[in-house]
Structure 1
Amino acid sequence: MNLGEAIKTCRKLRGLTQSKLAELSGVSVSHLCLIEKNKRAPSIAMVESISKALKTPLSVLVFIAAEKEEIPEMKEDQLDSLSTGILELMDGTRKQQSPF
């Protein structure tokens, strides 16, 4: 799982600096930097706080962080496509399609 990269991607998508995300989530800038570099593993409570500050559901953040080996029944291109689609929907650059 690459949670640090997922947090960094969502942070940039939201147009937030590390300082601003740290302030909004109650995490120190240095700790957030280490999390984004995957040098520190955040607690669940910390990830929840970060996901709230990012206005991104925790489940979405965890899915974006998933790596191919963690979901062996899904092809890598499917995982990439779903992750990209989720990020585009969050960013508003992709229009939602009706399932009907």
Structure 2
Amino acid sequence: MDIGTAIKILRKEKQLGQKQLAEMCGISVNALSQIEINATFPQKNTIKKICESLQIPVSYLLFFSISDDDIPDDKKVVFKSLNSAIKSILIE
């Protein structure tokens, strides 16, 4: 699960800088940077603030954070097909 990578992608999709998002969430830029490079895992409270700032439900963030390594080999083809379709709808 790459929650930090998902946050970074969604932040960029919303055209927000790290400083902007960090301020919106009430966390330091360094804390956000550490989350985005997956060096630290955000607390539940921080995840909620990030999602509120990005104007997305927590479930969207969790879906976006699913990585290839999380999917069994026999399900990867189906997941990749659904994943790109769902992401294109959710990001709009």
TM-score of the two chains, using structure 2 as the length reference: 0.85
RMSD: 1.9
Match of 2:60 in 1: 60
- For 1:66, the aligned partner's letter is I
TM-score of the two chains, using structure 1 as the length reference: 0.79
Gaps of 5+ in 2: none
Distance in 2, Cα, partners of 1:74 & 1:6: 24
Does residue 75 of structure 1 match 2:85?
no
Gaps of 5+ in 1: 93-100
* Percentage identity across paired residues of the two chains: 35
Residue 91 of structure 1 and its aligned partner are, at CA, apart by 3.6
- For 1:51, the aligned partner's letter is C
Secondary structure at the counterpart of residue 75 of structure 1 = helix
List structure 1 runs of 4+ shifted beyond 6 angstroms.
none
Match of 1:38 in 2: 38
